[in-house]
């Protein structure tokens, strides 16, 4: 649970804002479903709600939300893109005269993208916990 979230047990206070909209935007983190009401992000679990306030509503400003509330996704994507491209380019330069060089370089670049993207995402996620 993120330190900025408030836990509301369902048996203490079963609630749902009347005008809250069910949404797929945001990490579910194991929730049954999630809702948004302005900048309020509500995750529903079997026994509780977890609630926090985002700085930017992703329905109105998706990029702003990523920058201010979920930078780990941007860092993960950027890490994946740049590392994958660099690795694929370098591997292709070395193997360009071999059969299927582009396919092999692309596969290795994809693997590098996955690894570095996850590493970048995880690093920023951990840093946000401090």
Structurally, the chain folds into a number of domains equal to 2
Indicate whether 111 belongs to any domain.
Answer: yes
**Domain identity same for 120 and 83:** yes
pLDDT tens-place string over residues 65-121 = 999 999 999 999 999 999 999 999 999 999 999 999 999 999 999 999 999 999 999
Which 3 state secondary structure label does DSSP give 10?
Answer: coil
Q: Are 3 and 50 in contact (CB under 8 A)?
A: no
**Domain identity same for 50 and 78:** no
Indicate whether 31 belongs to any domain.
Answer: yes
| Domain termination residue (choose one: 20, 39, 60) | 60
Cβ-proximal residues to 65 (8 Å cutoff; 6+ apart), any chain: 54, 55, 56, 57, 58
**Domain identity same for 53 and 98:** no
Q: Give the domain range for residue 36.
A: 6-60
- CA separation for the pair 95, 76 (Å, rounded): 28
**Domain identity same for 24 and 48:** yes
The whole-model pTM stands at 0.75
**Domain identity same for 54 and 82:** no
Position 47 confidence tier, pLDDT thresholds 50, 70, 90: very high
């Amino acid at each position: 649970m993120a330190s900025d979230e408030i836990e509301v047990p369902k048996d203490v206070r079963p609630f749902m804002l009347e005008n809250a909209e069910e949404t797929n935007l945001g990490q579910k983190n194991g929730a049954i479903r999630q809702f948004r009401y302005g900048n309020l992000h509500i995750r529903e679990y079997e026994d509780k709600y977890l609630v926090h306030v985002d700085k930017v509503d992703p329905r109105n400003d998706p990029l702003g939300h990523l920058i201010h509330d979920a930078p780990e996704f941007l860092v993960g994507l950027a890490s994946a893109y740049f590392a994958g491209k660099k690795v694929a380019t370098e591997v292709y330069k070395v193997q360009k005269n071999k059969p299927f060089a582009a396919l092999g370089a692309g596969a290795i670049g994809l693997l590098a993208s996955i690894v570095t993207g996850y590493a970048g995402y995880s690093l920023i996620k951990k840093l946000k916990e401090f």
